[in-house]
Amino acid sequence: MRLLLISNSTNSGEPYLGYPGEQIKAFLGVNKVKALFIPYAAITFSYDEYEEKVAVRFGELGHEIISIHHFTDPVEAVNNASVIVVGGGNTWKLLKMLREFSLIEIVRKKVIGGVPYIGWSAGANVACPAIKTTNDMPVVEPDSFSAFNLIPFQINPHYTDFNPPGHAGETREQRIMEFIEANPGIYVAGLREGSMLLLENDKLALSGPKNVRVFKNGLLPAEFGESDDLSFLLR
């Protein structure tokens, strides 16, 4: 499999998909591709608007996209895709639509078969076994939490250590500790903004200036950087 799983689309003060642009370009290669874009995580803006925004950036990188919402048969669109791109937004809405259109198994089959997959934020969440480590509010209700299960661990995009002064509520780390207590044996990768995970040739690595924080029940949280081999998360 070839996966590029990105924490967030935009860093403060940067253009849309600015910081991951070079990684996306390298991931897709020198030959122009036309990727299938899945915009279902959008709620407060239309799929057409989302497609246009992503298309502009991919065009700057030398590639094209076409959104799945233009196809009368979404399953056939996935079957014919040479690259699959899943955008961020609300993870619950994204998963609900993926499941309603019966896309979970077909996307999984295509990606396991070698079709490259790029996802950011919610698009990275749904690459996991389930969406239980999303930060989003469940504004809609999918019939299951189960997602693409392309990787055996969970990602928490937008991971942050920040705890505002005077804030008495749970931190992000405390929330993840609750997850690993209830789900022993499953790793969680706290993926900070500006960072991404690249899976190629059965090797998993971090790309970006900020460490990834890894959690597992019974182990102390640990920090890993770009020079570390994260392939242990795949076992």
Any idea which residues carry the catalytic annotation? Answer: 121, 136, 158
Number of neighbours of residue 22 by Cβ within 10 angstroms: 11
Query: What does the block give as tokens for 183?
Result: 């789900």
Contacts of 128 (CB under 8 A, 6+ apart): 147, 148, 149, 150, 151, 153, 154, 155
Query: What does the block give as tokens for 177?
Result: 């500790």
From residue 183, alpha-carbon distances to 91, 93, 169, 178 in Å are: 20, 23, 22, 8
